[in-house]
Amino acid sequence: MSLDRRRLLMVLAAAPAALALGGAKKEPKPKDPPEPRKSRKRKGAKAPPSHVDVAVVGAGAIGAWTAWHLVRQGKSVRLFDAYGAGNGRAASNLPSMMLDPVQGGDALYAGLVPDSYAAWQKLSDTASLPILTPCQTLATLAARDSAVAAPGSDRESGDKLRNRFTQIAWHPGEVAYFADKAALLAGRRGVLETLLDAQVEPEAVVMPAPLRDKRRDVYVLPDGGTAGSIVYACGAWLTELFPQLLTPQRLSAVRHNVFHFGPGQGDLQYRPPAMPAFIDRAYGFTLLPDIEGEGVRCWRSAGDASVDPDSFDRRADDRALADVRQWLAARLPRIGTAPVVASAAVHDCRTGTGDLLLDRLPDHPRAWVVGGAAGRAFALAPAIGARVAAHVGDASRPVESRWALMRLTGGIVAPPPPPS
């Protein structure tokens, strides 16, 4: 509690006592009220600087956290997004995302969880509304899965879990991974709060492929300004900027139809901590519990089509709804007939290998591309952004081999197209 707030509470507490001591005494003059919390918004529009250390393209989760870390390093930053931060086409625009501590047992991504969790929690502590909501995760085993529990989780039988999570219908002999330290993250609001905390205001500008002024050794920006380095963190839009380098087989936008089902009045059994995030690997569906009254969100885990992120229709498909309802009727029967309170067709950005892409552009020593990793990217964005900022600060830092362009392209890296 701040000192000013303590002072105000002391004044409010003392006032009734002073009145009770006798009407003859003059009521003490209350002290000045505390100052309101300082706004993190930038004061007034400022002309963009003629030169910055780094230009970041893409104001989604990774771009926002990259800018955040660069600012903390003392670097000047301009942030660009063709549609603006938190726009309706962005993959980061969903109301909630999941931070899974297990990451499917993949040690590389699981190693990014602690720093990401801590960063989201710190941001949540200073935000007007929570960004991070702790929860648990359950992931059923598919036939191809290992019988050994992944690090960070416990292997439990459905018989044992049945009494703990009565909302879920368990099959005989079924087992699941159970993780206790997961979280749900506010999507669009989390990105906007990150930008406010970084004190970086996105500019709605369409950025071309990098235009390098070799004489001055800088990158030229659309308004004539310059940047020492440039980071393209624009997800599926990387294919528009670098079509020869990132073909649809190497990187694409994959569509999902998501549906929010509304529990009944006063029904808290589908909210954390009563309801975990539920990943049904055996049948290919994911369900997130209800937070902030948005409803229980459910979708088929595998995307149903590759799409153009600029032009595809964001309305959910009725056929996809029928599939989700059929799964719900079998898995969570008490909510299987609940009304849909929201729905949408959304996309995530995936590489051909399923991994993140984070590497330097060919023939551009200070230009970087980052994207992919599907649903992992948002939750792990604080740690990914820290990696990007570290590469910008130290060009000799080795690239993670699994995230390298060479792995994605099979060892063949075509040069990017010349700028128009």
Q: In this structure, what token pair is assigned to residue 369?
A: 């591309």
- Confidence class for position 6, pLDDT limits 50, 70, 90: very low
> Taken in order 231, 108, 135, 116, is the CA torsion positive or negative?
negative
Q: Are 17 and 28 in contact (CB under 8 A)?
A: no
Percent of the chain whose pLDDT exceeds 90: 69
- Confidence class for position 147, pLDDT limits 50, 70, 90: low
List, as one string, the DSSP characters of 120-135: HHHHHHHSSS-SEEEE
d(CA 19, CA 382): 53
What pLDDT is attached to residue 338? 96
Q: In this structure, what token pair is assigned to residue 290?
A: 């209800």
For Cα atoms 216, 217, 220, give the angle at the middle one, nearest 5 degrees.
Answer: 85
Tell me the CA end-to-end span of the chain in Å, nearest whole number.
56
Q: Give the pLDDT confidence of 256-296 residue by residue, as tens digits.
A: 999 999 999 999 999 999 999 999 988 999 999 999 999 99
Q: In this structure, what token pair is assigned to residue 156?
A: 């439990």
What pLDDT is attached to residue 18? 39
Candidates 170, 167, 168; CA nearest to 159 is 170
Q: Give the pLDDT confidence of 379-401 residue by residue, as tens digits.
A: 999 999 999 999 999 988 999 99
List, as one string, the DSSP characters of 5-34: HHHHHHHHHHHHHHHHT-TTSPPPPPPPPP
What pLDDT is attached to residue 15? 41
d(CA 296, CA 144): 28
d(CA 330, CA 352): 33
Residue with tokens 């906007």: 192
- Confidence class for position 20, pLDDT limits 50, 70, 90: very low
Q: Give the pLDDT confidence of 80-116 residue by residue, as tens digits.
A: 999 999 899 999 888 899 999 989 889 999 999 999 9
- Give the lowest-confidence range in 60-69, 349-358, 403-412: 403-412
Q: What is the pTM of this model?
A: 0.85
Residue 58 has pLDDT above 70, yes or no: yes
d(CA 242, CA 101): 33
| Domain spans, the chain | 49-95+187-246+352-420, 134-183+251-351
Q: In this structure, what token pair is assigned to residue 393?
A: 């600060």
Residue 413 has pLDDT above 90, yes or no: no
What pLDDT is attached to residue 154? 86
Q: What share of the chain is helix, strand, coil (3-state, %, to 5)?
A: 30, 25, 45
Candidates 345, 185, 136; CA nearest to 259 is 345
Residue 188 has pLDDT above 50, yes or no: yes
Q: Give the pLDDT confidence of 44-55 residue by residue, as tens digits.
A: 557 788 999 999
Residues paired with residue 334 on neighbouring β-strands, in sequence order: none
- Confidence class for position 137, pLDDT limits 50, 70, 90: very high
What pLDDT is attached to residue 415? 44
For Cα atoms 287, 293, 297, give the angle at the middle one, nearest 5 degrees.
Answer: 15
- Confidence class for position 302, pLDDT limits 50, 70, 90: confident
d(CA 276, CA 272): 6
What pLDDT is attached to residue 39? 53
How far are the Cα atoms of 48, 55, 78, 90, 231 from residue 228, in angstroms, in the given order? 15, 8, 11, 27, 11
Q: Give the pLDDT confidence of 320-353 residue by residue, as tens digits.
A: 999 999 999 999 999 999 999 999 999 999 999 9
Query: DSSP class of residue 203?
Result: B
| CATH number corresponding to 134-183+251-351 | 3.30.9.10
What pLDDT is attached to residue 410? 73
Residue 17 has pLDDT above 70, yes or no: no
d(CA 68, CA 73): 9
Q: Are 287 and 379 in contact (CB under 8 A)?
A: no
d(CA 120, CA 345): 26
What pLDDT is attached to residue 34? 43
Number of CB atoms found within 10 A of residue 350's CB = 23
What pLDDT is attached to residue 149? 57
What pLDDT is attached to residue 33? 44
Residue 77 burial by Cβ neighbours in a 10 Å radius (0-12, 13-18, 19+): buried
Q: In this structure, what token pair is assigned to residue 100?
A: 């899974």
Candidates 108, 348, 346, 344; CA nearest to 251 is 348
CA trace torsion 391, 395, 398, 404 (10° rounding): 70
- Mean pLDDT value across the chain: 86
- Confidence class for position 411, pLDDT limits 50, 70, 90: low
Q: Give the pLDDT confidence of 306-324 residue by residue, as tens digits.
A: 999 999 999 999 999 999 9
What pLDDT is attached to residue 303? 82
What pLDDT is attached to residue 158? 85
Residues paired with residue 55 on neighbouring β-strands, in sequence order: 78, 230
Q: Give the pLDDT confidence of 198-226 residue by residue, as tens digits.
A: 999 999 999 889 999 999 999 999 999 99
Query: DSSP class of residue 269?
Result: T
Q: Which tops the pLDDT comparison, 65 or 149?
A: 65
Phi and psi torsions of 208, nearest 5° = -85, 180
Task: Characterise 173 by phi-psi region: left (phi > 0), alpha (psi -120 to 50), beta (else).
Answer: left
Candidates 82, 152, 84, 120; CA nearest to 382 is 120
Residue with tokens 């930038």: 42
Domain 49-95+187-246+352-420, CATH number (from 3.40.50.720, 3.50.50.60, 2.60.120.330, 3.40.50.12140): 3.50.50.60
